[in-house]
Amino acid sequence: MSVWGKLFSAVRGGVNEAAETVADGQALRILDQEIRDAENALRKARSDLAGIMASAKSLGRRVDEARAKDAKDLDSARAAMNAGREDLARQLADRMSSNRADMARDEAELQRLQGAQAQMLRAVQDTETRIQTMRREVEGVKANESLLRAQSAIASSHAGINSRLGSAMESLDRVKKRQEAMAGRLEAGAELQALESGSSLDRALLEAGIGGNRSSSDDIFAEIARGEGQKSLPAPDALPGIGYDRKS
C-alpha cells in the first residue's frame, strides 16, 4: 500500500473512531429516540390493525346475512316447488346463484382479512414486548450510567480529598518542625540568659565583697590576727631561721 493509501486509511479510521465516540456519548439519547420511533410505528400498526378488524367484522356480518338469505331462499324455493310454482322456484334459484357467488367472494376476502389480522396482531404483540424489554433495558442502562457517574464523582472527590489531606499533612509537618526549631531556640536563649544572669550576679557579689574566693591582704592579716585561716600555720618556734626574744 502506498503512503497516500495508508494516510487515507488512517484518516478514515480516525473519522470512524470520532463517529463512534460521538455515538457512544449520545447512546442513551439515541436509544430513547429509537424507542420513540418504535412506539410511533406501533401506534400506526395498531391503527391499521383496528381498520382490518373493523373490515373483517363488517364483512363477516355480510357473509352471515348472505348465508341466512341463502337458507331462506332455499326454503322458499322448496315451498314453491311443493306448491307447483316451478317458475318461482326457478327465479329463487337464479337469485341464490348470484347470492352464493357474492358470498363466496366475501368469504374468501374474509379469510384473507382474518389471516392478515392474526398476522398483524402477532406483530403488534411482539413489538409491544420488544419495546417493553428495550425500555426496561434502557432504564437499567440509565440507572447503571447514573451509578457509574456517582462512583466516578466519589472516586474523583476521594482522590481530591486524599491529595488535599496529603498537602495538609505536609504543611502540618512543616509547622511542627518550625515550632520545634523555635522552641529549641527559645530554650537555648533561656539557658544563655540564665547563665548570663548568674555570671552578672556573681560579679556583683564579688564587687560587694560577698562570697568568692579572692581575699585582700587586709582580710588575710585579720584572719592571722584572729588565729584563723584557711590553713593552720606552724608555731613561730618551729619556723627555721626565725628567733624571738622572750622576756622572763
Label residue 239 by pLDDT band (50, 70, 90): very low
pLDDT tens digits for range 60-99:
999 999 999 999 999 999 999 999 889 999 999 999 999 9
Does residue 80 contact residue 88 with C-beta atoms inside 8 Å? yes
Percent above pLDDT 90 for the chain? 23
DSSP 210: -
pLDDT at 176 over 60: yes
Q: Is 95 helix (H, G, I), strand (E, B) or coil?
A: helix
Model pLDDT, residue 223: 74
pLDDT tens digits for range 179-226:
788 877 777 777 666 666 556 666 666 666 665 555 567 766 677 777
| Side chain identity at residue 240, one-letter code | P
Q: Across all residues in the chain, what is the average pLDDT?
A: 76
pLDDT tens digits for range 96-113:
999 999 999 999 999 999
pTM summary value: 0.47
Label residue 23 by pLDDT band (50, 70, 90): low
Q: Where are the domains positioned within the chain?
A: 10-163
Count of residues making up the chain: 248
Model pLDDT, residue 96: 92
Q: Regarding the domain delimited by 10-163, which CATH topology (the fold level of the hierarchy) does it fall under?
A: Helix Hairpins (1.10.287)
Q: Which of 40, 62, 171 is nearest to 113 (CA)?
A: 62
Separation CA 57–CA 63 (nearest Å):
10
The stretch 125-147 carries a mean pLDDT of: 84
Q: Which of 23, 21, 28 is nearest to 148 (CA)?
A: 28
Does residue 109 contact residue 59 with C-beta atoms inside 8 Å? yes
